[in-house]
Structure 1
Amino acid sequence: MDTKLEVATLGGGCFWCTEAVFQQVKGVETVISGFSGGTVPGHPTYREVCSGLTGHAEVVQVSFDANVISYEDILVIFMTTHDPTSLNQQGADRGTHYRSVIFYHDDSQKEIAENVIINLKPYYEHPIVTELTAFKAFYEADQSHQDFYRNNPNQGYCNYVITPKLMTLRKLHADKLK
């Protein structure tokens, strides 16, 4: 069977959290932390994005084998391991760069994302505010932001914010884990 790699670009708050989640999912080949969705030209720095002035969101770019896991399953995992009802924040992380967003790469991804959002609405008390936006560009974050949880498992942020998300992943999607 030939590997059929597809790409999903997703922002669910801090990219360290989303990266750690998808690194544990079967069929995921790579997860790269970075930025997307901004209005300022050029490759933004982490500091510039965190200022809120560039319009970028912290995102991960997930390359996955569509023969192992579907784009729909990727989105369901994404939508259930962060709070898609929280506008421009996840927990204590606040700002437009922490917004919930799906950057779709083609019309098929857009349609699948619309359906996932509609199907998940009844499971949330508040309206889903996840943006659905056409993908334009991805800018990789510097090396210190890659594999953050793997490299810093005992760091405070990892213990208090990322580990609970991984517990949710294991609880809701155990059949999809490596």
Structure 2
Amino acid sequence: MDRTLYLCGGCFWGIEHLMEGMAGVTSTVVGYANGDRPEDAVYERVCAGGTGFRECVSCTFRGGGDVARSLLFSFFSVIDPTARNRQGNDVGEQYQAGVFWEPGDGATEREVLAVAGAVARRHPGFAVELGPVESFYPAEGYHQRYLYRNPGGYCHMAPGLIRALQDGTVDPAEGYRLP
């Protein structure tokens, strides 16, 4: 059965690029999550601020808790979990980090809360939003798979770390203990 995580970690291009290469991921879509009004789910409006939307990646995956944990620990490896309304050089409410799940998906919720709890114990000031997704609207077509089409495009994440997480050279869960 496929499950979906909604991952907000700064510019959505890098998170999408990371997740597309991860084991178990069946699809990704960049978009805007949890804003106030559907008509504001447009790049220019989201970037102007005041919409409540976060740049987000809908990440659909197949597998159990081990796949979910791997995706979540990889996500937390490339963001600053203590930052509010920013990641790297990206500043604004649309860049607030968050992890969301489908309402009623108790299995994914438990995995998110367990991994986020382990990360929060290591990072005082943990500021990542957590909860069921309230809304998600796909971004404009030119944002989809942006870094594949523009390999030299901006990304606040280190390309070497992305590759190491994708190929398993780095264990993103190393040093964390789950309850």
Q: TM-score range by the shorter chain?
A: 0.7 to 0.9
Decide whether aligned partners of structure 1 residues 110 and 142 sit closer, same or farther in structure 2, where only a CA change above 3 A counts.
Answer: same
How many angstroms does 1:176 deviate by?
A: 8.2
- Tell me the equivalent position of 1:175: 168
Q: How many residues get paired?
A: 168
Matches within 5 A, 1:160-171: 161-162=156-157, 164=158, 166-171=159-164
Aligned residue identity for 2:149: N
State whether residues 23 and 166 of structure 2, in contact with CA within 8 Å, keep that contact through their aligned partners in structure 1.
no
**Counterpart-to-counterpart distance in 2, 1:20 and 1:115:** 24
Aligned residue identity for 1:49: V
State whether residues 81 and 126 of structure 2, in contact with CA within 8 Å, keep that contact through their aligned partners in structure 1.
yes
How many angstroms does 1:67 deviate by?
A: 5.5
Q: TM-score, normalised by structure 2?
A: 0.84
Measured on the aligned residues, the alpha-carbon RMSD in Å equals 2.2
- Tell me the equivalent position of 1:51: 48
Residue of structure 2 aligned with 1:102, choices 99, 119, 125: 99
- Tell me the equivalent position of 1:147: 145
- Tell me the equivalent position of 1:72: 69
Structure 1: gaps spanning 5 or more residues: none
**Counterpart-to-counterpart distance in 2, 1:68 and 1:113:** 10
State whether residues 26 and 68 of structure 1, in contact with CA within 8 Å, keep that contact through their aligned partners in structure 2.
no
Residue of structure 1 aligned with 2:129, choices 122, 128, 131: 131
Residue of structure 2 aligned with 1:88, choices 85, 90, 107: 85
**Counterpart-to-counterpart distance in 1, 2:69 and 2:160:** 21
**Counterpart-to-counterpart distance in 2, 1:43 and 1:55:** 9
Q: Does 1:113 align with 2:112?
A: yes
**Counterpart-to-counterpart distance in 1, 2:113 and 2:36:** 24
